[in-house]
Chains A and B, each alone.
Chain A
């Protein structure tokens, strides 16, 4: 296993922390923060896999994923703002 593959595995170890926050909450914006961290780790994994595999097309994956993450966070923020606080 090369060094970069080991780094890819190490990057995977950050995901349980974000999933913990996504599941536990306690409020809806906390879950959005967890989701945001999951997508930015995914962008990092796509960029790192562009190094590991030699396929530079994974950079396009990273760009599209970052765009989706931004739009999803904005949409969820707008939803939270106009929904009001319901304790979740």
Chain B
């Protein structure tokens, strides 16, 4: 029974890693490829780690496997965000089919987003003399 569950988890995990690999080759631009690796890849690795925790059924092994899973779930969005921001600021263009670019007007050549550079609006001085 446990074996069946482990085999199913491993199979589904490898299936999602295959989805990520196909997406990395077939997607049209960098941002779509990052979408494939960071979501499908994380899910694939996570399912395999869950399979390890289910297979051994010991506290120490499960703690290590699930802490690795938690670490991957926490760090994958951070890494994808940092890479996407760096790519956008260094001028990697989206593909032609992309027709909404919400960052388009907010980008300056000094590698700062405009929203960061604007000083915070000052609150009006209070005149309760």
Contact = CB atoms under 8 A, between A and B. Distances in A.
Contacts of A70: 71, 75, 78-79
Contacts, number: 148
Interface in B48-101: 48-49, 51-52, 55-56, 60-61, 64-65, 67-68, 71-72, 75, 78-79, 82-83, 85-87, 89-92
Contacts of A56: 56, 60-61, 64
B79 A29 contact: no
Place the interface of chain B in its size category. Answer: 35 or more
B111 A82 contact: yes
A46 B17 CA distance: 14
Given A40-B72, A63-B67, A85-B91, 9 more contacts: A18-B24, A21-B25, A27-B87, A29-B92, A33-B24, A36-B37, A40-B17, A47-B51, A73-B82
Interface of B: 6-7, 10-11, 13-14, 17-18, 20-22, 24-25, 30, 33-34, 37-38, 41-42, 44-45, 48-49, 51-52, 55-56, 60-61, 64-65, 67-68, 71-72, 75, 78-79, 82-83, 85-87, 89-92, 111
